[in-house]
Amino acid sequence: MTEVAFHFNAPDKLGYACRLLRKAVAKGSKVVVTGESELLRDLDVALWTFAPLEFIPHCRSEGSAPAVLAASPVVLADSPRTAPHQQVLVNLGQSIPDGFERFERLIEVVTVDEGDRLQARQRWKHYAERGYAITRHDRAREAQQ
């Protein structure tokens, strides 16, 4: 069964996602990131520019050759159902990712924005009602420690 984790109180969704992906790639994880198309475009740019001396290998699922998709440790996908990797799914979007149950792990990134938090509560409820064990990571609390 998919492990579900919520990372609450991320101050900046894109910046947090870049740091999370850098850490995951350093550990050898294969990650699919999903969300709204505009957000994925912004993340694509951020991954190229967020650290001047580091590059996080990634590609978009739409329009990439199968060999590129298979070789990329990070795939940005509007729909994770067709993504090549099934290890970690990072959801930056507002809805429940289509096909999330295929992945070993699902990480939900939630900002301090009240609208984002409200949507996250609905996703939490969805997963809990289906018996998924949920881990909570409060970024604000961890930053204080």
The tens digit of pLDDT for each residue in 58-115 reads 999 988 999 999 999 999 999 998 888 999 999 999 999 999 999 999 999 999 999 9
Instruction: Provide CB contacts within 8 A for 122, sequence distance 6+.
Output: none
Percent of the chain at pLDDT > 70 equals: 97
Residue 141 has pLDDT above 70, yes or no: no
pLDDT given for residue 44 in this prediction: 96
pLDDT band at 139 (very low <50, low <70, confident <90, very high): confident
Domain that holds residue 65: 3-144
> In angstroms, rounded to a whole number, what is the distance separating the alpha carbons of residues 31 and 58?
9
Residue 26 has pLDDT above 80, yes or no: yes
> In angstroms, rounded to a whole number, what is the distance separating the alpha carbons of residues 78 and 44?
13
pLDDT given for residue 144 in this prediction: 56
Give me the chain's average pLDDT, please.
93
Q: Could you give the number of structural domains in the chain?
A: 1
pLDDT band at 54 (very low <50, low <70, confident <90, very high): confident
CATH assignment of the domain containing 54: 3.40.50.10110
Q: Within a 10 A sphere around the Cβ of 59, how many other Cβ atoms?
A: 18
Please state the three-class secondary structure of 34-60 as a single string: ECCHHHHHHHHHHHHHCCCCCCCCEEE
Residue 145 has pLDDT above 60, yes or no: no
pLDDT band at 142 (very low <50, low <70, confident <90, very high): low
